[in-house]
Amino acid sequence: MIQKTMILMILLTILTPSTASGEESDIRMRVIANSDTAEDQSAKEALYQSIQPEIIQLLGGHPLTREELSDQLNVKLHQIRLIVERHAGDIAPEQTVSTAFEPHTFPDGGTYQTLVIKIGSGAGENWWCAFFPEMCGTVTLEEEKNEDCENDLSPEKKVSKTDIKVESFIVNWISDKWNRFSEKRG
């Protein structure tokens, strides 16, 4: 049994691509509240709900690759700032709001290209989603079209660990081959 585990671990180490940095995969959006008070958390959710459709509309209209989406976020950052400031003025007029598109480190330790919107001091709980792969809305992307995937990750959507299923093609393939090998020997 120990040999089986060791062989599996060696194969996984060799065959699993390194993803230490998410900079080559996700493009994310993160809205960070001023604090954890109910008022600030409510303002964060209201700001996200009001800006998200306009940002998606600004970026949408034709299929985008990851690189094109990144370019569009850089080029249209000034317009995005104006959208955020306009809505923030109505929702949290007493707070300053900053908007940037930059590499940003998340609590899981991963660093991703991220549209970061920080309300006030940005010391509160935050909410995030991924523009690429598409999870924030309806930006049309050329890569990975999966109509079976539910992409509603809005702040009110509650998702538990049991709702998430993670699979790996490599792990499944190795496991299948190992099981066939074990059946033949046993």
Would 51 be classed as within a structural domain?
Answer: yes
**Residue 42's pLDDT band (cuts 50, 70, 90):** very high
Would 30 be classed as within a structural domain?
Answer: yes
Would 179 be classed as within a structural domain?
Answer: no
Determine what percent of the chain is predicted with pLDDT higher than 90: 34
pLDDT for position 53: 87
Would 186 be classed as within a structural domain?
Answer: no
**Residue 94's pLDDT band (cuts 50, 70, 90):** very high
Quote the CA–CA distance of 117 and 98 in Å, as a whole number: 6
SS3 33: coil
Mean pLDDT of 45-65: 85
Would 81 be classed as within a structural domain?
Answer: yes
Quote the CA–CA distance of 84 and 148 in Å, as a whole number: 31
Quote the CA–CA distance of 22 and 138 in Å, as a whole number: 22
Quote the CA–CA distance of 98 and 51 in Å, as a whole number: 14
Q: Higher-confidence residue: 5 or 96?
A: 96
The domain in which residue 32 lies consists of 23-143
Would 128 be classed as within a structural domain?
Answer: yes
Mean pLDDT of 99-120: 90
Would 16 be classed as within a structural domain?
Answer: no
Domain count of the fold of the chain:
1
Mean pLDDT of the chain: 74
Global pTM exceeds 0.75 = no
The answer to whether the bond into 53 is cis (omega within 30° of 0) is no
pLDDT for position 186: 57
**Residue 65's pLDDT band (cuts 50, 70, 90):** confident
Quote the CA–CA distance of 174 and 15 in Å, as a whole number: 10
